[in-house]
Amino acid sequence: MLRVGLTGGIGAGKSTVARCFAALGAVVVDADVLAREVVAPGTAGWHAVVERFGPGVLTPDGELDRPALGRLVFTDPAARRDLNAVVHPLVAARREELVAAAPVDAVVVEDVPLLVETGMAPRFPLVVVVHADVTERVRRLVEDRGMSEGDARARVGAQAGDDERLAAADVVLDNPRRAAGSPDPLPAAVEDLWRDRLVPFERNLRERRVAAPRPRGGIRAQQQRVARLVARVAHAAGVGDRAVEPVDAAVLRGAPVEDVVELQLTVPSTADVARLEEVLAAAGFPRVVGEGDGALHGSADPGSPARLHVRVAGSPDRR
């Protein structure tokens, strides 16, 4: 199973991409759908929201008045935190239930609007960001969803900025404004991504196979890729980012870019090397071979070749 995080700023086109993935056979877990489910009338989430915000956030038939609630929380950071404290744990629990029920060979696409804001990106072996610039997203919210420009800008401003979101992306699907009558580029882009990267990535994970290296380009892109891989390995291993470092740290200082990122994870003992084998494999790094007291893992992602040296503290340094 491959778990893919899908996100994008409001109005970017994330829902279109999710529908494309579903049509290709992905198991799509939509956080917005789950967020509605966990606050349906009579649920524990519904009671908690009404207790915090009062009956003014209900429609006459007892449903949550989502536009009214949205106006409250998107202009009040404290209210937004309170709402998130109710909804996010309930959504997370339901999401894990659905993922656990997916087939072992599934590509599970988890549609999470606030994936970056909630620090979830390192949990996924691959993150896809749907991108459109702020001006275009505001236009879509006003023209397509009937929001006022003030409400639209408040919604956009409550989310992560473009730079932060793009830094978390392994894949960026651009969705700019199109001329009238021009085709939507997203379905073809999603199909290419599915065929060329996600399907082989899932197969590699299931078969514990490392992907062959492919050329990469661009110092800045490489810096961001290294940072994402470090955060991903650290999260999977349950350690701080300082326990994971590039074997050739010069790559972060602007040295020539290599095709394969080399990382080193330092652990306390050989028992930790064994304990982390399956954990790292699930995060996208199946084991290749033993290395003295440690082990060599490799990336199963055909679009992001990497080697991960798991080293016991005090043993010879791979660098």
- pLDDT tens digit sequence for 112-122: 988 999 899 99
The angle subtended at Cα 57 by Cα 52 and Cα 63, nearest 5°, is: 110
Give the pLDDT of residue 219: 53
Which are the contacts of 119, defined by CB distance < 8 A and separation ≥ 6? none
Distance CA 155, CA 138 (A): 9
Question: What is the C-alpha to C-alpha distance for residues 5 and 99, in angstroms, rounded to an integer?
Answer: 12
Name the residue with higher pLDDT: 253 or 61: 61
Please state, in angstroms and rounded to a whole number, the distance separating the CA atoms of residues 173 and 201.
Answer: 18
User: What CATH number does the domain located at 2-204 have?
Assistant: 3.40.50.300
SS3 of residue 64 by DSSP: strand
The CA distance from 241 to 233, in Å, is 8
Which of 245, 246, 256 has the alpha carbon at shortest distance from 219?
256
Cβ(225)–Cβ(216) under 8 Å? yes
Mean pLDDT for all residues in the chain? 89
CA distances (Å), origin 189, targets 72, 100, 300: 36, 28, 21
Task: Please count the other Cβ atoms lying within 10 Å of the Cβ belonging to residue 309.
Answer: 18
pLDDT at 298 over 50: yes
Summarised one tens digit per residue, pLDDT across range 1-52 is 999 999 999 999 999 999 999 999 999 999 889 999 999 999 999 999 999 9
Helix runs in 194-246, H state only: 199-206, 219-237
pTM: 0.85
- Give me the residue spans of the domains in the chain: 2-204, 219-312
Measured between alpha carbons, how far is 154 from 70 in angstroms, rounded to an integer?
10
Q: What local confidence, expressed as pLDDT, does residue 259 receive?
A: 72
- Is the domain covering 219-312 a CATH 3.30.110 domain? no
2-204 and 219-312 have identical folds? no
Tokens representing 285 are 């790094």
pLDDT of amino acid 24: 98
What's the CA gap between 312 and 76, in Å, rounded?
Answer: 48
What residues form DSSP beta bridges with 263?
A: 246, 308
Q: How many residues does the chain have?
A: 319
Radius of gyration of the chain measured on its C-alpha atoms: 21
